[in-house]
Amino acid sequence: MVFNKKEIVAMIISVLFMGVALGFNDKQEIFVLNYFLANMFMMILMVGFAFIVHQLGHKLVAYLSGFRTEYKLWGLQQIRFWPLHKRWTILKTPQFPKTIKFWGKEYVIESFPIGLVIAFLVTILSNGWLFFLAVGQYNLLIERASRVGRKFVEVTDFEEAKIALAGPMANIVLMVIAAMFNQHGTFDNFIWINGALALFYMIPVSQLDGAKVFFSSRVMYIFGLLFIIGMVSLVYYISVIPLLIICGVFGLVGASVYFYYSFYRGKVF
């Protein structure tokens, strides 16, 4: 089984939150319940397919490197405001995980779902005009037995960056495929959803894909970010082959400039 039970539950929750975030504002002047529900349903379906492919990208590249990944909601083990002093905080909640009782049953909350909370608040406060899609993360599961015969038993920085970047790049692949068959604008929303997922997950924060790429390989992060930005910005205006060439060159130039000034000039950190 590609996804275990915990992953499936976390992915269903993630897809529902992201689908609602994208479909909450149906861009209609007059509210029509049937249209609103139909639009919401289609958004959830498209997000679900795009997000499954995103996670499969992580799993495939991890498998080829001798690892496994497990999807979970993006969460924090501890919530705190910035301290006025290193030894104390203004407000500090109890440490996660926490066990709660509900209708006679005990449930374990592993972490505070910060991604879901941000997605919900951004959607509600902006009435659907803004959205936030980075609601989950993957954990890399290292099995030493599967690494026998390789040069390194532990994961290397390059492998971590490669596995993390595979998710957003999987969305870019879907976006390009949809663009090839989008002569009449049929796949506009699907293209937009995949581009948005790729961009949001490249944010270099906490345990998101972008942070794992950024702190493992800055050169790969800059290439990936510039490539994705270029693809998302130009996908509606340029045919596929020139688009790939232009964005590939854009990413390579940016990564090369960073590499030059970082390693040879010592001016970039």
Element (H, E) at 138: strand 136-142
Q: pLDDT by residue (tens digit) across 235-251?
A: 999 999 999 999 999 99
Phi, psi values for residue 261, rounded to 5°: -75, -25
Q: Which range, of 80-89, 121-130, 223-232, averages the lowest pLDDT?
A: 80-89
Q: Is pLDDT above 50 for 84?
A: no
Q: pLDDT by residue (tens digit) across 28-54?
A: 888 899 999 999 999 999 999 999 999
Q: Mean pLDDT across the chain, nearest whole number?
A: 87
**Selection from 225, 249, 244 nearest residue 234 by Cα:** 244
Q: What's the rounded mean pLDDT across residues 179-184?
A: 89
Cβ(115)–Cβ(138) under 8 Å? no
**Selection from 231, 234, 241, 250 nearest residue 180 by Cα:** 241
Q: Is pLDDT above 90 for 69?
A: yes
- CA-to-CA distance for 17 and 24, rounded, in angstroms? 10
Q: Is pLDDT above 70 for 153?
A: no
pLDDT of residue 156: 86
Other C-beta atoms lying within 10 Å of the C-beta of residue 155 = 18
pLDDT range class, residue 196, cuts 50, 70, 90: very high
For the chain, state the CA radius of gyration. 20
- CA-to-CA distance for 179 and 25, rounded, in angstroms? 24
Alpha helices in the chain (DSSP H): 5-23, 33-64, 114-125, 157-180, 188-200, 209-214, 218-234, 240-259
- CA-to-CA distance for 234 and 199, rounded, in angstroms? 14
CA 166, 121, 127, 125 torsion: positive or negative?
Answer: negative
- CA-to-CA distance for 202 and 192, rounded, in angstroms? 16
pLDDT of residue 194: 97
Element (H, E) at 139: strand 136-142
pLDDT of residue 206: 84
Q: pLDDT by residue (tens digit) across 97-143?
A: 777 776 777 767 778 899 999 999 999 999 999 999 999 999 988 76
Domain limits of the chain? 5-75+113-265
Q: Quote the pTM value.
A: 0.87
- CA-to-CA distance for 97 and 111, rounded, in angstroms? 6
112 vs 15, residue with greater confidence? 15
Q: Which range, of 87-96, 118-127, 201-210, 211-220, averages the lowest pLDDT?
A: 87-96
Report how far Cα 8 is from the mean position of its chain's Cα atoms.
Answer: 16
Q: Is pLDDT above 70 for 85?
A: no
Cβ(20)–Cβ(121) under 8 Å? no
Task: Give the percent of the chain with pLDDT over 70.
Answer: 86
